[in-house]
Structure 1
Amino acid sequence: MISIRKQLVASLLAVLCGAIALGAGITFYRSRQEANALFDYQLRQMALALRDQSFSRALPAPSNDRSDFDFVIQVWNERGIRIYMSHPNRVLPDQAQLGFSTVETRDGTWRAFSIPLAGEVVQVAQPMRIRNQLALMAAIRTSMPFLAMLPLLAVIGWLAVGRGLKPLEDLAGMVAARTPTALEPIEDKRVPVEAGVLVNAINMLMGRLGRTLDAQRTFTADAAHELRTPLTALQLQLQLLERATSDEERHTALRSLQSGLNRATHVLQQLLTLARAEPDNRNQIPSEIDLAELAGEVLADHLPLAEAGELDIGLEPAASAVHVTADREAVRTVFANLIGNAIRYTPKGGQVDVSTRLNEHGQPVFKVCDSGPGIPAEEHERVFDRFYRRPGVTAAGSGLGLAIVKALASKESARVVLGSSPLGGLAVEVIFTQKNPVT
């Protein structure tokens, strides 16, 4: 696990060390400039101070060489013959360049000043390493106090960063205090501005978690409520079967038991479909779907049911290809529920038409029209509630079909619109908000 505190302190020390190194470099550069200016002045003054000196024609003996004297003096007569050199063992050019010059030799780099005086040329030279050493020592002396303070700065930074991260520890405590039954949002007034994004993300997560838990509790309550009636009916029908004294009574009781089992199975399947339709349950990978092709497959599955009701059911040809990118099984379930509802609630001899098209905005649309009784406009919103069944409806059903349609449509970024059918019944449109990917 990565420690933010350690990272911040390490970054702070790295920045300080970089600043100290930069300061030392600048100090070295400026000190060397000042040393050069000062020593150049000394070279010139030393050369001028030799104007009244007389130099021996013989060079000094090597034993007279002073190794602790940094300056080297050379003198040439008017014929260019060197008549004096203070350090014969030092390697310097045999000729002088008037004024200041920088000379490279085997002994290193030298700074020299040459001037003609009384018919002779006097040169005073000094090794550049002396100047660089002085500049380096100045930079080190300037940096040492800051380097010595680094341990203290590290301790102060550690404490300061820890104090700055204290609100995150408090935030962790507030999150830990939340429970599945108490998911109140965290007040952003109690956290620093920098943690505001994290607090907002946590609040959004707890909101989604709360909605998921509410959906689970609702599903459990709905399942318990809706399954209680068919299970009770199954128990009663089983008792009637046990009490039957003739084959006819047993046959009637078996038919009732089979009908109750079918209803319980249908309710259970619808409940499981509704649970899978929750927005946070996305397990399938979206794929490109031809809506007309899928509608034809679902319509073919329902042909036996339509034939049993003597219904005229068909798929209108699409003017153009209509495609969406979505969960194929979810879209199939939407189509199956809408077509199944239309067949179930349309009277015998009626008509059900299915079509796919692109609307004026280029959005894919799936539409089912029937010649049934329809749904009054004032009930268009209520019919999407779970287990809602309109008064007076006798057709078999669980009241979950349109709730499943709305949940799955929302999951696939589509909306469901109810209206009046040209056939006299209900028209249901599923409008996908995505543009048609096929041109």
Structure 2
Amino acid sequence: MISIRKQLVASLLAVLCGAIALGAAITFYRARQEVNQLFDYQLRQMALALRDQNFIGSLPPPARDRGDFDFVIQVWNERGIRIYMSHPGRALPDRATLGFATVETRDGTWRTLSIPVNNQVVQVAQPMRIRNQLALMAALRTIMPFLAMLPLLAVIGWWLVGRGLSPLEKLAAAVAARTPVALEPVALEHAPIEASALVNEINSLMARLEQAMSAQRNFTADAAHELRTPLTALQLQLQMLERATSEEDRQIAMNNLQSGLERATHVLLQLLALARAEPDAQARPPVQIDLLELAGTVLADHYTLAEDKELDIGLSEHAHTAYLTADPESVRVLLSNLVTNAVRYTPQGGRVDVLTGLDNVGQPFMRVSDSGPGIPPEERERVFDRFYRRPGMTVGGSGLGLAIVKAIAERNHASVQLGESSLGGLAAEVIFTIPNPAAA
């Protein structure tokens, strides 16, 4: 796990060391400039001091080179012959360049000054390493106090960074104090500005969790309530079967028990379908779906039920092929619920049509129209609620069909619209707002 505190302190120390190194380089450069100016002046003064000398027999004998010298003197006569060198062991040019010059030899870099004196040329030379050493010492003396203070600065930085991060520890404690039954938002008053985005996202996550858990609790309560009635009815019907004394009573009880089991099974299947349609449910890989072919398959599954009611059920004459990339099972369940509702609520001898195609903006859609009683405009939003059943309806159902349709539609980026159909009943239209791959 990465420590922000260690990273910040290490970064601060690295920046500080870089600044010290840069300061040392600047100090060395400027100190070398000043040292060069000072020693160039010293070379000039030394050369001028030798101007009045009679170099023939007046200069001291060459010195033994011990390596601790600062200056070397050379003298050439008017014919260019070197007549004197203070340190013969040094490697310097045999010819002099008048004025200041910087020359490279096997002994290193030298700074020289050559001037004419009484038909002779006097050269004073100094090794550049001496100047560089002085400039380096000046730079080291400048940065040594800062280097010595680095451990103290590290300790101070560690304490300051820890103090600056303490609000995050308080924020972590506040989040840790939240429980599944207490998901109130984290207060922003005492949070640092840098953590405000994180706090907002945490509060948004808690709000979504609270909403999801509340929906789950409501769903569990509603499911328990809805299952209690058919399960109670099954118990009563089982008791009636046990108490039946004649074959006719036994057959009636068996038919009632079978109907009760079918209703309970339907409710359970609808609950399972609704759970699979939830946004946090695991989704299958999307594939390309032919909505026209899917509609034909769903209609074939409902043919027997429609035949019992003598319904005219089928594809609309205006239906066209439309392709959609989505989870095929969820889209099949969506259309199946719409067709089931249409078949269930359409009266004997009625009609149910399914239309597929592309709307005027190229989006795929499905529409299920029937000749049933329809839904009044003021109730078209309520029917999407879980377990909601319109008052006075005699047709059995779980009240989950349209809730499942809406959940699957939202999961597949689609919208569901209820209106009046040309057949006189309800028209349920699902428009998918995702791009059509066939058109692309």
TM over 0.5: yes
The TM-score normalised by the length of structure 2 is 0.96
Output the aligned Cα RMSD.
Answer: 1.6
1:324 Cα deviation (Å)? 2.3
Contact 2:99 2:115 in 1 (8 A): yes
Partner amino acid, structure 2, of 1:195: A
- Which residue of structure 1 lines up, in the alignment, with residue 428 of structure 2? 428
Alignment-derived partner of residue 197 in structure 1: 197
Uncovered stretches (5+) of structure 1, i.e. residues with no partner:
none
Q: Output the CA distance in 1 between the equivalents of 2:61 and 2:164.
A: 73
CA contact (8 A) 2:62 2:85 kept: no
* Contact preservation (8 Å) 1:368, 1:429: yes
> What's the CA shift for 1:58?
9.8
Aligned twin of 1:309:
309
Partners in 2 of 1:424 and 1:156 — Cα distance?
81
- Alpha-carbon shift at residue 56 of structure 1 (Å): 3.3
Q: Distance in 1 between matches of 2:396 and 2:237?
A: 18
CA separation in 1, counterparts of 2:286 and 2:200?
29
Tell me: CA distance 1:120–1:356, structure 2 relative to 1, closer, same or farther (3 Å): same
CA distance in 2: counterparts of 1:66 and 1:57, whole angstroms: 24
Q: What is the distance in 2 between the residues matched to 1:93 and 1:275? A: 96
User: Structure 1 counterpart of 2:217, which letter?
Assistant: R
Which letter does structure 2 place at the counterpart of 1:253?
Answer: A
In structure 2, the residue matched to 1:393 is: 393
Partner of 2:83: 83
Q: 1:30: which partner in 2?
A: 30
Is 1:92 matched with 2:92?
A: yes
For residue 189 of structure 1, give the secondary structure of its aligned residue in structure 2: coil
TM-fit CA distance, 1:429: 0.5
Q: Which moved more, 1:260-269 or 1:316-325?
A: 316-325
In the alignment, residue 428 of structure 2 is paired with which amino acid? Answer: V
The 5 A counterparts of 1:245-260 are: 245-260=245-260
**1:328, distance to aligned residue in structure 2 (A):** 1.8
Q: What is the alpha-carbon distance in structure 2 between the residues aligned to residue 56 and residue 174 of structure 1?
A: 95
Partners of 2:218 and 2:36 in 1: CA distance? 87
Q: Distance in 2 between matches of 1:67 and 1:6?
A: 50
Q: Measured at CA, do residues 66 and 60 of structure 1 come closer, stay the same or move farther in structure 2, by a change above 3 Å?
A: farther
Q: Does 1:275 align with 2:263?
A: no
> Once the 2 structures are TM-superposed, how far is the Cα of residue 236 of structure 1 from its aligned partner?
0.5
1:101, CA displacement in angstroms?
1.1
Matched, 1:142 2:164: no
1:181-196 equivalences under 5 Å are 181-196=181-196
Compare 135-144 and 61-70 and name the one that shifted more: 61-70
Instruction: State which drifts further: 368-377 or 326-335.
Output: 326-335
Separation in structure 1 between the aligned mates of residue 67 and residue 391 of structure 2, nearest angstrom: 119
Q: Map Cα deviations across residues 121-141 of structure 1 (whole Å, 9 max, x no partner).
A: 010000010011111111111
Structure 2 CA distance for aligned equivalents of residues 20 and 263 of structure 1: 82
Conserved in 2, the CA contact under 8 Å of 1:57 and 1:83?
no
User: Residues 321 and 139 (structure 1 numbering): CA distance in 2 closer, same or farther, change over 3 Å?
Assistant: farther
Structure 1 length-normalised TM: 0.96
Whether 1:21 aligns to 2:21 is yes
Residues 15-34 of structure 1 deviation map (CA, whole Å, 9 limit, x = unaligned)? 00011111111111111111
Matches within 5 A, 1:166-245: 166-245=166-245
- Secondary structure of the equivalent of 1:254? helix
Question: 1:200 & 1:79 partners in 2: Cα distance?
Answer: 91
Contact 2:47 2:122 in 1 (8 A): yes
* Residue type of the alignment partner of 1:7: Q
Contact 2:292 2:320 in 1 (8 A): no
Deviation per residue, 1:236-285 (Å, 9 max, x gap): 11111111112221111111111111100110111121122222224322
Deviation at 1:65, TM superposition (A): 4.3
SS in 2 for 1:100: strand
Structure 1 residue 436: deviation in Å? Answer: 2.0
Equivalent residue runs for 1:122-161 within 5 Å? 122-161=122-161
Structure 1 207/282 Cα, relative in aligned 2: closer, same or farther at 3 Å? Answer: farther
Q: Which moved more, 1:58-67 or 1:251-260?
A: 58-67
Secondary structure class of the residue paired with 1:83: strand
Amino acid at match of 1:240: M
